[in-house]
Chains A and B, each alone.
Chain A
């Protein structure tokens, strides 16, 4: 079966270039995937999307209309539920090895992308480049290191270039182009031993943090969960912003882990980032200092957050935040 698969591949797709893993969640293409397509387009060759599992199948129609996509490959089958790296890696390896026309494989810098890409790299004996923020040329990329305190320009000497893409650094590709061809790819045997037990997703009416155009973020200065909810949520609602938090706020239980912004959490670059009671530790700055406009509200005039804020207000957040919410 594998041999047939390979043959079908090399015959039907003679001029392949960049393969992009397109991820879906809740029946929608993730914004990070659309940003990855943009990065792929900047490499300058045809871009082919790979979607997998029921989440992938649910968005095939949309993926086929992403601007810059020239074909969609669909891997059906329940083994691709939940995007397990153990299942996806052998599939991607086989696709990439089925033709020597492939020059690039990109994934979003999401939890899924970070889990899958290095495993694929190991199977192909290829060193990937993590979280690129700029495409200099087809083999040269810029990526942040040391929590964003340095930018490294990296040239890949690999025949096949593997990279993950930082979503906040590339505008999402638009939908609405005329639909391209969709082609099935066969399942691949994986010897997977990992069992998916379950998941617990945080539901919120607020926009998704990583892709929101506005973010209101709370830190240790909020003091407790009650204040966090009473001050941050209404301001975010008024601005139609996503809610974010510092590690200190998350560790103290003010809000869910998945809202953490920073080196070890989400990296965001919204139009407006409002930091409330945030001191501005380098690990937090790593996750938000590329925001277009940064506002800081903090009672400590020496707080490091004021070094990156475009507009700073030294004030007690318990008074300033409700006033701001009311006046917007």
Chain B
């Protein structure tokens, strides 16, 4: 058996195609009757772990998916299992929102429990847009981190990652254990086939509470309110390039 023990954290979020609506109490966004899906960056992380196994015969010992969220997060775990993860853990926190630092602390416990040596996460969740969890987990474990990965290359226990940075790309290299966070163009995630969806129902899904991992979830940030961004004034349509230029001059935009 191989020596890569991959952990893939996945988050259940409002589907990327849906425009979120703010609730009446201005405390957050409306979630009732809204479609939820696996966070797109997490889907890419899962896909990458599957590709590492497929491209390196015998290298990967296990791919374990983990989600921290409400009971319904088991849906995204079933999806991950259907796509090819071997086993999974749900840390059921009910409706409580969990900040990245607490997510990272919970994940650290799961890493230790699963003896993971490579954690691949999405670079950010498209709901809170924090872009923090992977870096925090790397900090807690004191492991190398390669964020915003657009390419991952494996050579034995050495991992080389090309990253999206401001102004271009850079390349980092480290031996396991390490943390990778995925950018959008790392890969194109696969769909789960129906037979695999059926098979996934028999794969292991362990259910835990935060307390089982010895972590108390206390929020450090307080959301005072959530509002719509200011709407833009209605624009005008022009008929010609000349009119466009004169309107731009009027608006002092040229």
Please give the residue numbers on chain A whose beta carbons come within 8 Å of chain B beta carbons, in ascending order: 25, 30, 82, 84-86, 89, 110-112, 114-123, 125-131, 140, 144-158, 191-202, 208, 210, 239, 247, 250-251, 256-258, 263-264, 266, 271-272, 282-283, 289, 292-295, 301, 306, 308-315, 320, 323-324, 327-328
Contacts and interface: CB of A to CB of B under 8 A. Distances in A.
A118 B136 contact: yes
A149 B232 contact: no
Contacts of B136: 118-119, 121-122
Interface string B202-238: 0000000000000000011111111111001101111
A196 B163 CA distance: 11
Given A197-B160, A314-B237, A328-B254, A122 B128 contact: no
Contacts of B242: 327
A13 B135 CA distance: 30
Contacts of B171: 196-199
Given A129-B221, A309-B235, A323-B241, A82 B170 contact: yes
Given A126-B101, A294-B235, A313 B244 contact: yes
A-B complex: 9 closest residue pairs judged by Cβ atoms:
A122-B139, A118-B135, A199-B170, A118-B132, A127-B220, A119-B139, A197-B171, A122-B136, A201-B168
Contacts of A289: 229, 232
Interface string B123-164: 000111111111111111011111110100000000010011
Contacts of B247: 311
A44 B18 CA distance: 39
Contacts of A110: 166
Given A119-B135, A194-B146, A327 B164 contact: no
Main SS class of interface, B = mixed
Interface stretch (B49-57, B70-78, B80-88, B172-180): B172-180
A200 B126 CA distance: 28
Contacts of A195: 172-174
Nearest to B127: A146
A154 B232 CA distance: 24
A85 B238 CA distance: 49
Interface of B: 14, 16, 19-20, 22, 29, 99-101, 104, 126-140, 142-148, 150, 160, 163-175, 178, 183-185, 219-229, 232-233, 235-242, 244-245, 247-248, 251, 253-254
Contacts of A146: 14, 20, 29, 126-127, 129
A197 B166 CA distance: 17
A324 B140 contact: no
23 contacts: A30-B166, A82-B170, A111-B163, A111-B166, A117-B135, A118-B139, A119-B135, A122-B136, A146-B129, A151-B227, A152-B225, A156-B222, A197-B172, A201-B168, A258-B168, A293-B253, A311-B235, A311-B236, A311-B244, A313-B237, A324-B244, A327-B241, A328-B245
Contacts of A130: 129-132
B235 A306 contact: yes
Contacts of B167: 25, 201-202, 208, 258
Nearest to A311: B247
Given A199-B169, A312-B236, 6 more contacts: A118-B131, A145-B128, A156-B220, A257-B169, A289-B232, A313-B244
A256 B174 CA distance: 26
Contacts of A250: 185
A193 B165 contact: no
A158 B220 contact: yes
| Most chain B beta carbons < 10 A, residue from A116, A200, A294 | A200
Nearest to B251: A293
Contacts of B140: 122
Nearest to A199: B170
Contacts of B20: 146, 149-150
A38 B32 CA distance: 40
A247 B170 contact: no
A313 B238 contact: yes
A309 to B, nearest CB: 5
Contact of A111 (B16, B22, B164, B224): B164
Nearest to A309: B235
A196 B170 contact: yes
B24 to A, nearest CB: 14
B4 to A, nearest CB: 17
B184 A150 contact: no
B139 A154 contact: no
A65 to B, nearest CB: 24
Nearest to A82: B170
